[in-house]
Structure formats: C-alpha cells, structure tokens
Structure 1
Amino acid sequence: MITDLHDQPSYTTTALASHRPEAGRIAVHPTPLATAPAYLAHDLIRALGKHLPPPRIDPPWWTTNAESSWRVTVAWTQVLHINHYVICRAHRISGRHLEHLMALRERTRTRLTLVVSGPPPAALTSILNAVPHHSINTFEAARQHLNPGSESRADTSTTYPWWHCAPFPAPDNEPWYALPPRPRHPAGRPDAATSRSRGTPTRHPSIHKAPPAIALPALTNASTPSPHLEPVAQRIYTRIAHPVHAAAVAIRALTGYDTDQLPHLTTPTPLRPRADLPADLPGWALLLLDAARTHTELEEYAPPELPAHLTGADKPFRLSTWDQHDIAYATDTCHLVAAPALKRPSTRRKNM
C-alpha cells in the first residue's frame, strides 16, 4: 500500500505511468464515484485493452452481475499472465471492491499495489489487517516500487495480438468479412440466434448497404493463414470483453460454425481424439480458447477423475440462449457476417 497523505498529483501520475502491459503490469484509475461491485471489474477489463459496449447500447447480461464480471476479469488475468495490478485512488473504492480484489489476488497470485490518497479508510484498514502487506510512505520509495527497472517476459512479445488496438467503435468505412461457409456437422438449428434477437439496436450499417464483404476461407493449413485474419484477431481481442464470446467469434471466423452449432463442438481428448475443432488452430485463437476454458472452470466444477466427454469438459462452449445472442452481436461488432447459404442441388425427380 502506497500512502499519499497530502494527495499529491505526482503519486497518481507516477502510478499511471507504470502501466506496462508487455511486462504484465496494469495500472488502473477507477471510475469516480462508481460503487457498484461490478464497476471496478469493468475498469480492470478496459485497462486490459478490452471494450464494453458504449452506454447507448443495451449491455450484455453479464456486465450487470458482479460475480460474472469478476470471473471475466480473473480469466483474462490468468491467461494473459498479468502479474501486477496498480490501483490508483484506492481510498475511494468500496469494501465490496476490496473483497473482490483480494479474491482476485488470491486466485491469480497477482501482486496488488493500492495507492491511497489521504488516511486509509476503515474498510481498507480492516481488510489489510487480515492479509500480508507492506506500506510505503514516501514518494521516492513509491517511485522505486512502481518503476523497478527494465522488465521482460519470455512468453510474450510486442506483436502479441492483444496488444493491438483495433478502433472502437468500428468506423463506418471498415471492411466487412464474410465468415467461411457453414459446415454441415455438427447439426444445429440455423438462424437460432441473430444480433437483432437481443432486442438491441445496432449502430452497424446493414450488410446490404456496406461494401461487399471479403470472404474468409475455412482454416485448412495453419502454416499459410489468410492475411485477413490478423485484423480480425485484433478486432476480437479489442472489442469483445467476455472470453467465451471472444473465443466463439474466433472459431466462427476460422471455421464458419454458426452460433447454434457452437454448443455441440468438441475438442480432442485422449479417449476421443476425433473432434470438430481443428488441431492446428493459430496461437491467438488457442489463447482465447484457454481463456474460455478458464472462465468455464471458474463457473462450473467438474470432477477431475471423470473423463472429459462425460463431464462436458471436451465442449468449450456451453452456451445459454443469451450467450448465443451476445455472440451473434459480437460477431457484428467485429464486422463479420455469415456467408450466404449455398443452395444444394435438388434431388427431386422432374416430371417428364
């Protein structure tokens, strides 16, 4: 805990300047006067480079629920290997926020630095009495703590997809991409969910008014991916805050599966090596699947001694109807559109 008794601006500016995602350190300035337990989770998600829908858009159901919002935060924190959160103006956050932060710290083993401007509030003092911590009371000590020198991580690079920042909201002249053709298996119920079935007005122009969509080929060889997949990956990482929804849109972009097919997809397991998803997915999509799997594990418990195909662990997308609606809307947000259905030749005999 860094204590700034006189609320000097240098403490806050130094804390915010310590933001270095490439080193696993995220600095967050919480939304002022936002006391709802989900709000701080949203601030952390945004600091990770994700975007939630703008205020004029009806929000996804999970954003209004504190537990769901914090599960999303924990999943991204683990998969993106965030090892240090710096929370500015920590004297203004509520006791519930502090409880969720401590739970995040315990689950992910992430370092947590709280910058407190003024005397620590009673709620913070009570929580800190129960957890190991140390206090910093001078600016020089705070500066050294927040800027420990050059840091690097062997598991990331500056070209990692989630560092890329696609524009948000999407500009009107942004190209649209057509998803690969819908596979025939697994079977589903086409048109089970669309972006408009959420009852949410979308700002995107109709695909009929937009320029012709660029076709994305189905993934057949990971060594020679389509050049259009890089901007698609950037859009997914930037515009979709929920890890399961982001992974679902990625699989749609790579394979063409529709929202009604996603809940039936399987991944390879030792007992069932044949699966619907390709084994050679690109690294950026595998990371999203890891995030989706982590989120599902936080939400559901599966007995580890049972085979995956009996517990459903081999199905990465266990989706509710609302999830399918939000995935369809997220697909639109990334300017992706389903390819026109191919007309199958008629097998009906003609009368001579």
Structure 2
Amino acid sequence: MALVYGDVTIVVDEQDDLFYTRAALQAHQPEEGRITVQPTPASSSPAALAHDMLYALGKRLAPGPNSPDVWLDSVNAAWFAAAAWGIAMGVRHVVVPRAHLLTTRRIDQLLAWRESTGVQLTLLWQKPPRGLPPALAHVERRISGRDQFEELLAEPGPIPARQSFPPAPPMARLAAVAAGQSPAPRPRATWAASLRPGQPAHPCTGAMATAQLIQAAPSIEIASEEAAALTALAHPLIAGALSVLAFTRAGLGSLRFTRDLDITGDVSAIKLHGVGHRDCPLHAVPAWARPLLAGARAHHRLTAHPPGDGMFAPVMSAEARHLRAHAGRLPQLDLSVPALVP
C-alpha cells in the first residue's frame, strides 16, 4: 500500500483491541523516522499534546513552577518547538493511539502540526467512527483490520520532512488554533535592527563562503553523557545555543549575531561573530550537535525569519535568563554564561 506525502489515516478500532495499541507502541522507532505519541490522559494544560509530542521526540521539559522551560507552557511556543524538532529529526510517520479522547482543538493543533512538517499521520480511533469531529469526518483513508494496520506500519513512510523554508499558511494556521493566541512578534538581531533603508548590507559573509577560504577550528570534545543532556533539552534554540557554547567554549555574546547563513547547509560548521566583526571564527560542528543546530535553524525558519536575522535572538532577551537557567542545571558542562556584551 503506497503512502501519500502528508496523508492522514484513521484506524478504526471499535472494540479497543489491545493488538492495535501494542502494535502502535512497538512501532515507535525515532531513528527510522517513525514515532508514537501517547496523549496524556485528562490533562487540562493547553499545551499538553505538544508536550506529549516533544516527549515522543526524546525531549524532556525541566520540572517545577520556576522551570526554565515555563515558556513552553504557551501553546504556540510548544508546537513551534515540536515542529522544529520533527523537521530536524526527519520524522516521517506519527502514530497517535486513543485519538478519540482528544478534544477538537487538540485535533486541530495536531493537523496543523502535520501540515507544517509534511509527515504521515495515523490516528487510532478506538470507538465507533460516527463520533469523528468535522476536521476528520472527510478523511478518505480509513482502515479497520489487523493486516492493513501492520502493512501501514511496515511502510517506510513519506520522504523526510522538508529542511527548507516552509510556506507560511500551515504555521499561521498552527498559531490560529493555539487557544486563540497570536504569533509572538518577530525578534530581530541587534545589527539588523540598526539598519536603515539605503545603508549597505552587513559586511560579514556566511559560513559557506568562509568555509571555502579557511579551515574550521576543531570542536571541543565533551562526554557522551553531557551530549545526551543537551540533546534532551526541549526548546530548539536553548539546545542549539548551549551546544555551541559547549563545543566552542565561546562567550554568549558571540551568539547574538549568529544568523541562519552562519551555519553550513550540512550543519558541519558554524561561524561566530565578535564585536565589530573583528574576530569571526569558523568552528566545526561535532556529530552529536548537528541535530541540535538543525533544530534551532528549523525553528528560526518556521517562525518566518529571513536568513539575515539573529537565529538565537529570542533566547537573548530578558538577559538570557532561560539560557542561564538551563546552563545552571548542567554543572557538569561548566557552561558559564556571562553577561551579554553591549
């Protein structure tokens, strides 16, 4: 059975057969581009389903009322983070058991997330299909048999989620269904904010052009446990920024000017910038950090920023307190986060 790119499939399981749930859980293979998202039962948090998606992607939110991940309680922020990780990790197929327990709003959020990532979405509807909400009532692809379900899970899925700029409508819709919230204002890099019409473009070239002229400085090695701690961070910008500090030991100020074009297409090198661009070194990106920087770049693109904007600008605001808080939770990395250089 051929899968259509971005298709939605409803698996009807009126008898709530344990076979379907077990098969869905066994299908969770993130390294193969297929994840199973288990919705948290009876959660009243507006961002609960997005948090479940992040968990399925291997991300862990810091606990507590004063958590540095408190900004992911926002529906918009949580779904943008989940979309960025889905794209960066090449997720191709998402299976959601017990989808019949989801509210209409959460189903809309899930469908908007699918549009932004281009994945195959399979929903296990474990009750009679006559209760399908309007958003799913016209889905043409429905299956209701063990053999069909096993065949569906055995398929490789559509091509990996796109890595380039997505069209605006899907993510605009995602913001619209996020509990009535509107997208956050677009943050801009410090240097970009100072430019005026008629002024010359920023003089510093991107990573690709620089890599043709100089060799990237080798990355600093860190222990696998430390890399795993960074990989588990839930917000792509936090994970990306702290990973750069870990493998370069650069100062926080060097990240404020980092643009999309300062990362090579294959995420093998990143260019940092000093004050006045007097020192702009090129650093090799270690293998463990490439998915994290890919996630940061995907997040930057999903939030409709042009390549010249500062990629880490959102985590530099408010004295970078979220970034500092996470750095403090990883003392083994010894990531001192000094004050930003004015």
**TM-score w.r.t. length of structure 2:** 0.67
TM-superposed deviation, 1:12:
0.9
Which residue, 86, 105, 108 being the options, matches 1:96? 105
Q: Structure 1: 5+ residue runs without aligned partners?
A: 155-185, 187-219, 303-307, 342-352
In structure 2, the residue matched to 1:316 is 311
Mapping 1:27-66, distance limit 5 Å: 27-55=36-64, 58=67, 60-66=69-75
Structure 1 Cα separation of the partners of residues 144 and 33 of structure 2: 25
Structure 1 Cα separation of the partners of residues 230 and 263 of structure 2: 27
In structure 2, the residue matched to 1:112 is 121
Give SS of 1:50's match.
coil
TM-superposed deviation, 1:66:
0.5
Q: Deviations over 1:294-339 (max 9, x none)?
A: 212222343xxxxx5xxx43x3211343581111122222333246
The code of the aligned residue for 2:227 comes to A
Change (3 A) 1:338 1:23: closer
Equivalent residues of 1:72, 1:242 under 8 A apart:
yes
Equivalent residues of 1:245, 1:323 under 8 A apart:
no
The code of the aligned residue for 1:324 comes to A
Structure 1 Cα separation of the partners of residues 263 and 35 of structure 2: 35
Q: Deviations over 1:118-172 (max 9, x none)?
A: 12474x4411245x54111123322332244x89x99xxxxxxxxxxxxxxxxxx
In structure 1, the residue matched to 2:236 is 243
Q: Determine which structure has more spread, i.e. the larger CA radius of gyration.
A: 1
Structure 2 Cα separation of the partners of residues 269 and 68 of structure 1: 23
In structure 2, the residue matched to 1:86 is 95
- Match status 1:25 vs 2:20: no
Give SS of 1:291's match.
helix
Count the aligned residue pairs. 262
Alignment RMSD, CA only? Answer: 3.3
- Match status 1:145 vs 2:152: yes
In structure 2, the residue matched to 1:232 is 226
Structure 2 Cα separation of the partners of residues 31 and 326 of structure 1: 26
Change (3 A) 1:227 1:285: closer
TM-superposed deviation, 1:18:
0.9
Equivalent residues of 2:13, 2:125 under 8 A apart:
yes
How many percent identity over aligned positions?
29
Structure 2 Cα separation of the partners of residues 340 and 85 of structure 1: 37
Q: Deviations over 1:14-33 (max 9, x none)?
A: 11111111110001111001
In structure 1, the residue matched to 2:301 is 297
Give SS of 2:95's match.
strand
In structure 2, the residue matched to 1:332 is 328
Q: Deviations over 1:35-73 (max 9, x none)?
A: 443110100101111101124653523221101100001
Mapping 1:74-223, distance limit 5 Å: 74-120=83-129, 122=131, 124-130=132-138, 132-148=139-155, 221-222=217-218
Q: Structure 2: 5+ residue runs without aligned partners?
A: 1-9, 161-189, 191-215, 265-270, 274-279
**TM-score w.r.t. length of structure 1:** 0.65
The code of the aligned residue for 1:58 comes to S
In structure 2, the residue matched to 1:288 is 292
Give SS of 1:86's match.
strand
Q: Deviations over 1:248-278 (max 9, x none)?
A: 10111122234454323456499xx884352
Q: Deviations over 1:78-135 (max 9, x none)?
A: 110000000011001111111111112112110000001112474x4411245x5411
Change (3 A) 1:243 1:339: closer
Q: Deviations over 1:228-254 (max 9, x none)?
A: 35332211002x100000011011112
Equivalent residues of 1:265, 1:277 under 8 A apart:
no
The code of the aligned residue for 2:224 comes to E
The code of the aligned residue for 2:293 comes to L
Equivalent residues of 1:91, 1:121 under 8 A apart:
no
Give SS of 1:112's match.
strand
Equivalent residues of 1:35, 1:94 under 8 A apart:
no
